[in-house]
Structure 1
Amino acid sequence: MHSLLKRQIRKYLPEDLKAHPEMESFLEAVEKSYENFDDKFSMLHRASAISSDELFEANKSLQKEALQQKSILVSLENAIRSLRENLNDEKTIKIQDEFNTEELATYISNLASQVSEMSTEKDKLLSSLENQNESLNNYAQMVSHDLKSPIRNINALMSWIMEDEKDKFSDVSKENCSLVSENLTKMDKLISGILKHATMGETEEHKVSFSLEDSLKDIEQTIYVPENITFEYNEELPEMFFERARLEQLFMNLFTNAVTATEHVDKGVIKIGYEPDDTYWKFSVSDNGKGIPEKHQKGIFEMFKKLETANNATGIGLAIVKKIAVLYEGDVRLESEENVGTTFYITLKKNS
């Protein structure tokens, strides 16, 4: 035992005990009780430190779990709110730190049942819509055939009458017969246009690789182009992998529209532009023709909308252009100024 400790103990002992023969044995016993005290204290300190670290880590884990639970609750509340809004459910459930899990489970189950019922109803409506579309397309084809056949017969008869009786007809009668023939041709084109618009997207066409410039120049050779009109093509028109027939149908309608707009101009110019893009094919068709008045621009892509009645326009061409663009998840818009010209901008999604 430390000498100072012995001294302090003896200091407070009564005199009779100080000289007691067993006192030395007592002091030795006290001394033994203090053996390895430092080691034991060190072990206790280390144990306390380890326990503190474990508690700290456990506390961190609990905090992290609490945050995750809170995030889950917020997400669940948002999901329920979204479902409630879509289902027009006026019942309100506010998820807090403490909530009735049974009530929440029941509420979510009811919402899920409503969603399931809506999905079933949607499938029925889609099936019904598909059947109606099929019926309408069949009807359009039947009506097209039944109307075009007599129209062509009448036109042929008018041509024979004109040929056989031309010497007996007056100039006025000849002119009237020509007008009849022109209107029959126009009606035939109108019926064909309606059928194309009605069945657009029904037939699946395989994609092929082709040069857009070659395709557009073929269209230029196919349609009527007056000598006063020239076509100018962007030098970087792409090689495309696309449904060629539909794309050519789109550009043929735009080219025909541009030719009609510029046929009165001394030097009509139709320009085809291209803008590279990773997601969309982006094209433009510009002309320096008569332009489109602002009051007509809004409805120009609607069926049977046309600016003039004196030509052979059916008012379906731009509606078909719009439908093709929408079919490929794109769009078509225009910028135009009277007596300056018009530009149509077309976007078609590449992987649609």
Structure 2
Amino acid sequence: MHSLLKRQIRKYLPNDLESNPEMDKFLEAIEKSYENYDDKFSMLHRASTISSDELFDANKKLQKEAEQQKNILNSLENAIRSLTDNLNEEQLFGQNIQDEFNAEHLAGYISNLASQFSQMTVEKDKLLISLENQNESLNNYAQMVSHDLKSPIRNINALMSWIIQDEKDKFSDTSKENCSLISQNLSKMDKLISGILSHATLGETEEFKVSFNLKDSLKDIERTIYVPDNIIFEYPKELPQMVFEKSRLEQLFMNLFTNAITATENVKKGIIKIGYEPDEVYWKFSVSDNGKGIAVKHQKGIFEMFKKLETTNNATGIGLAIVKKIAVLYEGDVWLESEENVGTTFFITLKKNS
């Protein structure tokens, strides 16, 4: 025992006890009680420190989890508000959307929304099946009508040519001219029906992608169609080797080429220029001509069915509509820039992996 502590204890003892030999045992007992006090105090201090650290860490963890739960609730609240806005409803399931949300309300909303969307999915599937059936019926109808119309038109045209050949010496010049007009209009009707059928069935049949050189395909198209002597085609030095649905791409360029030829056939030196811009996502092309151009007032509806700028025997008003449909089919677009008496440029984008 510390000497100062022992002196203090003896100081307050009565005289008869101070010299009592039993007091030594008493002081010894006190001294033993203080032997491991420092160790116990140190252990207690260490234990309280560890408990405090654990409590601090646990509190931080709880705060983090509470923040996460709060963020989840906010996200759910925003999602439900967005859904209610899209549904154009002020109230949803009897709860005003301006009220404060809590977990119970959110759970109820989600449950009800899941039920609604499940029902909407069932209805959507029914509509898709109905739409597929209607599309199939329309395609069958278009093909049937095309066959039923084209056959008599071709028969009439053949009969007219036979009559003209057999009776040409008996016909007056006016009658011969009228017969020629009839034949031209029958040919125009045949082309119109073919164009309508092509537009209606575009994308319905699956076509396999093949590898081909675009420049070779475009030159084949140039050799296939009628190109007046006053018109030349200009190609860039490099055009890509493509993996694509070849016949649809050729149909797109053929329609653009014939459109450009029509625009430049009366120009002294018509030039049709093909452009290509490399891109990671899209095939990007352009077809330019130095023809008569398109007035601004006609540009807006140029890609609509039966929209044409002039009533020529060969024009059906379907070519550019097919170009537009092909571009949309491949998640791309087509647009134009044009100035009267200067020329027109059509820009086309087609997604590579569509």
For 2:211 and 2:19, the matched residues in 1 are separated by: 120
Q: 1:275-328 CA distances to partner (integer Å, 9 max, x unpaired)?
A: 111111111111111111000000000000000113420000000000011111
AA in 2 matched with 1:151:
I
Bigger mean CA deviation after superposition, 13-22 or 146-155 = 13-22
Q: d(CA) in 2 for partners of 1:136 and 1:347?
A: 29
CA contact (8 A) 2:76 2:106 kept: no
1-side partners of 2:101 and 2:46: how far apart?
38
**Aligned pairs for 1:279-318 within 5 A:** 279-318=281-320
Residue 98 of structure 1 deviates from its aligned partner by 5.3
Distance between the aligned counterparts of 2:167 and 2:17, measured in 1? 163
Letter in 2 for 1:137: N
Query: Contact 2:77 / 2:106 at 8 angstroms: preserved in 1?
Result: no
Instruction: State the distance in 2 between where 1:249 and 1:136 align.
Output: 22
- Give the C-alpha shift of residue 93 in structure 1: 5.2
The alignment status of 1:256 with 2:258, answered yes or no, reads yes
Which residue does 1:278 correspond to in 2? 280
Q: Report what 2:346 is aligned to.
A: 344
Deviation of 1:251 after TM superposition, in Å, equals 0.4
How far has the Cα of 1:115 moved from its partner?
1.1
Aligned residue type for 2:75: S
**Residue aligning to 1:323:** 325
Q: Distance in 2 between matches of 1:139 and 1:59?
A: 72
Per-residue Cα deviation, 1:159-181 (whole angstroms, up to 9, x for no partner): 11221222222222222221111
Match for residue 29 of structure 1?
Answer: 29
1:67-216 correspondence runs (5 A):
67-89=67-89, 90-91=91-92, 92=96, 99=103, 101=104, 104-216=106-218
Shift in Å at residue 96 of structure 1? 6.0
Match of 1:47 in 2: 47
Superposed CA offset, 1:131-150 (max 9, x none): 11111111111111111111
- Cα–Cα, structure 1 residues 58 and 302, in superposed 2: closer, same or farther, change >3 Å? same
Contact 1:73 1:95 in 2 (8 A): no
CA displacement 1:190-229 (0-9 Å, x = unmatched): 0100010011111111111100110000000000101111
The Cα shift of 1:86 comes to 4.2
Partner of 1:332: 334
> What do residues 107-164 of structure 1 show as CA deviations (whole Å, max 9, x unaligned)?
4322222111111111111111111111111111111111111111111122112212
Percent of paired sites with the same residue: 81
Q: Is contact 1:77-1:95 (8 Å) kept?
A: no
More moved, 69-78 vs 15-24: 15-24
3-state SS of paired residue (2:317): coil
Q: 1:76 to 1:94 in 2, by over 3 A?
A: farther
Q: Which runs of 5+ in 2 are unaligned?
A: none
Q: Are 2:77 and 2:101, in contact at CA under 8 Å, matched by a contact in 1?
A: no
Alpha-carbon distance, 1:87 to partner: 4.1
The answer to whether the 8 Å contact 1:231/1:269 transfers is yes
Gaps of 5+ in 1: none
CA drift at 1:80: 2.4
Q: What is the rounded CA distance, in whole Å, between the counterparts of 1:97 and 1:290 in structure 2?
A: 64
Mapped to 2, the partners of 1:85 and 1:60 lie a distance apart of: 37
Which deviates more from structure 2 when the two are superposed, residues 235-244 or residues 162-171?
Answer: 162-171
Q: Secondary structure at the match of 1:286?
A: strand
- Write the mapping of 1:214-233 to structure 2, written as runs, cut at 5 A: 214-233=216-235
Tell me the SS of whatever aligns to 2:149. Answer: helix
- Aligned 8 A contact 2:234 2:272 in 1: yes
- Residue 73 (structure 1) shift: 1.1
Q: Which secondary structure does the structure 1 equivalent of 2:169 belong to?
A: coil
Contact (CA 8 Å) 1:77, 1:94: kept in 2 or not? no
**Residue type at the aligned position of 2:309:** L
Aligned residues: 350
Is the 8 Å Cα contact of residues 301 and 319 (structure 1) preserved in structure 2? Answer: yes
Which has the larger displacement, 243-252 or 13-22?
Answer: 13-22
Is residue 306–residue 315 contact of structure 1 (8 Å, CA) maintained in 2? Answer: yes
Q: Is the 8 A contact 1:219 1:252 kept in 2?
A: yes
Q: How big is the alpha-carbon RMSD for the aligned residues of Structure 1 and Structure 2?
A: 1.8
Structure 2 Cα separation of the partners of residues 60 and 165 of structure 1: 105
Superposed displacement of residue 261, structure 1:
0.6
